[in-house]
Amino acid sequence: MSQTNALSQPAGSEPREREPRWPAILAFLATGGLYFVMPAPLRFGQQWLLLAVVSVLLIPTIVTHQIGKDRLNRIFGHMVLGIITASMVGSLSLLIHRLPSHADSPVELLRGAACLWVANILVFASWYWRLDAGGPNERDRRESHDDGAFLFPQMITPWDSDKNWRPGFVDYLFLAFNTSTAFSPTDVPVLSRWAKVMMMVQASISLVTVALLAARAVNIL
């Protein structure tokens, strides 16, 4: 497979560009970077540990994408997401476990909950991006995006300019942000059962984080 960004197209048609991967890479690195802000009692290991692990695993993920090894790219991508997800769930469990003992100061509690809330958005946006319609590699091969787990508005617009539209990472980030703030999708109906389950989990994590903050604030007052 060619290492260029353009995919092969039939004669006479314009080359179609691959979906850029840098927004997803930035999201992975940002999630790892949250460990530097997370209070020490709510993280596992040193503050640099998660970012270091993510950075190391991103190298083969990027390389396999560049050389066209889609299966290996998918495996490494899932490994990165799995580690980030486990880290987020672990920190959330520590937060819930430590809350009744009032062991953390209000500032630490607020900082930890804010980090988890942001991580929740980035992690689930990455999962939606990685899994929807077979993932970014599969979406790159299609002329248009018409068989995904989410019904984006561009998929049902009548304009010819949108007939080759495909979602990018920012679209999934917007979806994940709405799920964490409104506890439901806004302009994007959910079609797949796996996506519905994941959105319920994401909304539940966001709700728990906000509810814990509210309960602690009441106790402080």
Domain ranges (residues) in the chain: 17-220
Cα-Cα end-to-end distance for the chain: 62
| CB of 148 closer than 8 Å to CB of 132 | yes
Residue-level pLDDT, tens digit, the chain, 221 residues: 334 444 444 444 444 577 889 999 999 999 999 999 998 888 888 889 999 999 999 999 999 999 989 999 999 999 999 999 999 999 988 888 877 777 777 778 888 888 999 999 999 999 999 999 888 988 888 777 777 889 888 877 766 555 677 889 999 999 999 998 887 777 888 888 999 999 999 999 998 888 777 666 556 54
Q: What is the pTM of this model?
A: 0.85
**Phi, then psi, of 191 in degrees rounded to 5:** -105, -30
| CB of 192 closer than 8 Å to CB of 149 | yes
Beta-carbon neighbour count of residue 153 at 10 Å? 12
Q: Is the dihedral of CA 155, 179, 192, 8 positive or negative?
A: positive
